[in-house]
């Protein structure tokens, strides 16, 4: 309990108390007493690793895990591939321009078919966000490793160098790495990575681009306390990430208690409904949503993404 209270003190020092489902304000002592005395087989602690925690949970917690090479990279080769504007499919437009980067595609026809389809789907899925999608018509030697379903760049400097090359002839804002791989592999961040040939490729594409544009995760079993301040799960309204707080004050979404905790603190979410950042969607499910013109993202998520896009494209 000393460890828990020490962390709570550090987190909440000079901050206002948590806000619950009905927006009541409770003191830190009340929160600890109420939460730590709740016993429910349906509740769990987001911020604690257990014997049953997955390899990805352990990776997220900073534990050492084994990695396997998926694709080899070569930054030097990139410099001499002679890339130019003729290698970009679909022109840049006003706003934030995302370029899909194929990796591991050997057949030009397969590359064009896959990249063109993904660009079309992403354009439709993000139609309420000021973002544009194009793709490179040449497969690039970007190094990729995997741990379970988690794909990551072997060397981020390779992609930094690639972005620098492309910026010489195309106004790119973001790069997304698309793997010619049929295993369920993905990760978000500055340079999202996902398997374009997996049966869930459309979900992975939309979900990981959502991360790139500022959205958090709501489906994971493990989070560090510092992560719980994003668009999907949070502890304190006044500790939200700035872009999330800005959007929350405009949209004013309903706040719901998840029923789960982080070292005795209740964890909250917005809306309390399923969305693409907290629940898996099959490819047919994604296509059905788009065909029926149903929203992929909720209003808060749209505000967050547009704010990030505007903030970057206006620099």
Q: Is the dihedral of CA 62, 203, 91, 104 positive or negative?
A: positive
27 occurs within a structural domain: no
196 occurs within a structural domain: yes
Helix (H) or strand (E) holding 163: helix 156-166
CB atoms within 10 A of CB 287: 14
CB atoms within 10 A of CB 63: 11
Chain mean position to CA 142:
20
pLDDT at 247: 96
> What's 154's DSSP letter?
S
5 pLDDT band, cuts 50/70/90, is very low
13 pLDDT band, cuts 50/70/90, is very low
Check whether 232 has a pLDDT greater than 70: yes
Q: Is the dihedral of CA 233, 234, 237, 243 positive or negative?
A: negative
Helix (H) or strand (E) holding 114: helix 108-125
Check whether 11 has a pLDDT greater than 60: no
- Per the structure, the count of domains in the chain is 1
CB atoms within 10 A of CB 247: 26
Q: What are phi and psi of 99, to 5 degrees?
A: -115, 125
| 78: CATH | 3.40.390.10
Q: 237: closest CA among 216, 259, 252?
A: 252
> What's 86's DSSP letter?
G
Model-level pTM?
A: 0.86
161 occurs within a structural domain: yes
pLDDT at 79: 87
Q: Which domain holds residue 101?
A: 68-216+285-313
**Is pLDDT larger for residue 16 or for residue 199?**
199
CB 138 within 8 A of CB 102: yes
37 occurs within a structural domain: no
Which residues are paired to 152 by β-bridges?
A: 145
154 occurs within a structural domain: yes
Percent of the chain past pLDDT 70, that is, above it, reads 85
**Is pLDDT larger for residue 42 or for residue 218?**
218
265 occurs within a structural domain: no
Percent of the chain past pLDDT 90, that is, above it, reads 71
40 pLDDT band, cuts 50/70/90, is low
> What's 142's DSSP letter?
-
- Work out the mean pLDDT of the chain and round it to a whole number: 87
**Is pLDDT larger for residue 230 or for residue 66?**
230
181 occurs within a structural domain: yes
19 occurs within a structural domain: no
Mean predicted confidence (pLDDT) in 243-266: 94
- Taking the alpha carbons at both ends of the chain, their separation in whole angstroms is 47
């Amino acid at each position: 309990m000393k460890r828990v209270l020490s962390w709570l003190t550090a987190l909440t020092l000079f901050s206002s108390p948590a806000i619950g489902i009905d927006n009541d304000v409770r003191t830190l002592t009340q929160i600890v007493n109420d939460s730590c005395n709740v016993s429910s087989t349906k509740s769990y602690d987001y911020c604690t690793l257990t014997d049953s925690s997955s390899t990805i949970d352990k990776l997220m917690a900073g534990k050492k895990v084994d990695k396997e090479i998926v694709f080899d990279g070569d930054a030097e080769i990139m410099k001499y591939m002679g890339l130019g504007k003729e290698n970009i499919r679909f022109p840049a437009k006003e706003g934030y321009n995302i370029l899909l980067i194929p990796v591991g595609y050997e057949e030009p026809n397969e590359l064009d078919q896959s990249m063109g389809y993904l660009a079309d789907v992403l354009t439709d899925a993000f139609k309420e966000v000021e973002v544009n999608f194009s793709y490179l018509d040449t497969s690039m030697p970007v190094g990729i490793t995997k741990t379970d379903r988690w794909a990551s760049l072997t060397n981020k400097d390779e992609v930094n160098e690639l972005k620098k090359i492309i910026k010489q002839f195309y106004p790119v804002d973001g790069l997304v790495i698309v793997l010619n791989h049929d295993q369920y592999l993905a990760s978000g961040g500055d340079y999202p990575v996902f398997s374009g040939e997996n049966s869930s490729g459309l979900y992975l594409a939309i979900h990981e681009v959502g991360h790139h544009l500022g959205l958090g995760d709501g489906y994971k079993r493990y989070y560090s306390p510092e992560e719980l301040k994003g668009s999907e799960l949070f502890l304190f309204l006044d500790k939200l990430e700035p872009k999330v707080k800005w959007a929350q004050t405009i949209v004013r979404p309903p706040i719901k208690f998840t029923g789960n905790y982080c070292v005795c603190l209740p964890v909250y979410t917005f809306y309390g409904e399923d969305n693409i950042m907290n629940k898996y969607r099959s490819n047919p499910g994604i296509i059905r949503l788009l065909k029926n013109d149903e929203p992929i993202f909720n209003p808060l998520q749209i505000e967050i993404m547009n704010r990030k896009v505007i903030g970057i494209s206006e620099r």
